């Protein structure tokens, strides 16, 4: 039986994740050809954990791996019931998605694999910052683990 394909494998195959090319972009193929297979939080969280474990030893385009992290978190929100706008990778405020419950309630999200305050600079102050682990940033954030626990609990209700 073949091993499960992960987001890290897909990024290696695609080489880079890019918005260029519109509907034929590598990002569009990643979202529609890979991420849509997920319909529950648990496997998305397992894929995120694998991506984070592979991050430091990854031999490919690290920026694309960081982009995949943001897209995985967007998919996590989708399977938890949010309507999600995937924001272009080149956004100035480093927003990776907009999660909507309805027309009057939305959350701007910035998912980064940051290690320091410097890396969090430039991220919109009104965005929910999602980090792999706790850091002293002097601003509110949520970890993937805590967000995953919340979404898993919500999906069971």
pLDDT digits (tens, 9 = 90+) for 70-125: 999 999 999 999 999 999 998 777 899 999 998 889 999 999 887 666 777 667 77
- Could you tell me whether strands 105-111 and 128-131 are parallel, antiparallel, or unpaired per DSSP bridges? parallel
Q: What percent of the chain has pLDDT over 70?
A: 94
Query: What span, in angstroms and rounded, lies between the C-alpha atoms of 4 and 139?
Result: 37
Average pLDDT score over residue span 128-141: 83
Can you give the pLDDT at residue 125? Answer: 77
Under the banding of pLDDT at 50, 70 and 90, the label for residue 1 is very low
DSSP sequence for 57-86: T--S-HHHHHHHHHHHHHHHHHHTT-EEEE
The model's pTM: 0.91
Residue 126 reports pLDDT greater than 90 = no
Residue 62 reports pLDDT greater than 80 = yes
At 114, list the tokens.
Answer: 């940051």
- Interior/surface letters 30-48, b for 16+ CB within 10 angstroms, e for the rest: bbeebbeebeebeebbebb
Write down the domain spans for the chain: 7-155
Average pLDDT score over residue span 11-17: 94
pLDDT digits (tens, 9 = 90+) for 35-44: 999 999 999 9
């Amino acid at each position: 039986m073949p091993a499960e394909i992960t987001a890290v494998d897909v990024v290696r195959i695609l080489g880079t994740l890019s918005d260029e090319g519109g509907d034929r972009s590598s990002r569009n193929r990643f979202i529609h050809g890979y991420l849509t297979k997920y319909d529950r939080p648990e496997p998305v969280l397992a894929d995120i954990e694998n991506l984070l474990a592979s991050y430091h030893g990854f031999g490919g385009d690290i920026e694309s791996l960081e982009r995949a992290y943001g897209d995985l978190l967007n998919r996590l929100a989708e399977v938890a019931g949010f309507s999600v706008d995937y924001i272009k990778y080149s956004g100035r405020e480093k927003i990776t998605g907009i999660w909507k419950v309805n027309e009057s309630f939305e959350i701007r999200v910035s998912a980064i694999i940051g290690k320091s305050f410097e890396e969090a600079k430039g991220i919109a102050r009104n965005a929910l910052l999602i980090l792999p682990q706790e850091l002293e940033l002097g601003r509110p954030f949520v970890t993937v683990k805590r967000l995953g626990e919340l979404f898993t609990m919500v999906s069971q209700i």
